[in-house]
Amino acid sequence: MNFYWPVITKLIAPFGKIVSTTGSGRNLDFSFLKSRMVSFGWEWMYAKSWYQTPNMISQHEILDKVSKLLDEGKIKSTLTKTLTLINADNLRTATKMVESKHMLGKVVVKNN
């Protein structure tokens, strides 16, 4: 997120909302958001199950809906690379791809 933060803080509209699903937020300067009354929130998909909240089942419902939308072609996955067979070479390759910081999308390593 740090890479895009200067752009995000310039583009966000007054009373806008920014939600992050990644990163710790360290070294982010939130002062630019104060004058625009921008809300910042974190989204962690395991929060409901981790804390056993009463609405925990809604996470299952959300994932089912996303799965259906993917199957229907209404939304597109960010998956860009699949490596078949979970082995040391493929795990190293996938790790290098992600660490290169030049990869777009997601990489999956699977058995079949």
DSSP string, 47-58: HHHHTT-TTTHH
Residues 35, 14 share a domain: yes
Average pLDDT over residues 28-49: 89
51 and 83 in a common domain = no
Considering the domain architecture, whether residues 81 and 69 belong to the same structural domain is answered as no
Average pLDDT over residues 17-23: 84
Percent of the chain residues topping a pLDDT of 70: 96
Predicted local distance difference test score (pLDDT) of residue 5: 86
Q: What mean pLDDT is predicted for residues 18-40?
A: 85
Residues 95, 63: one domain?
no
Provide mean pLDDT across the span 29-45. Answer: 90
Distance CA 3, CA 28 (A): 10
- Predicted local distance difference test score (pLDDT) of residue 79: 93
Residue 76 contacts by C-beta under 8 Å, 6 or more apart in sequence?
70
The whole-model pTM stands at 0.56
Domain that holds residue 94: 77-112
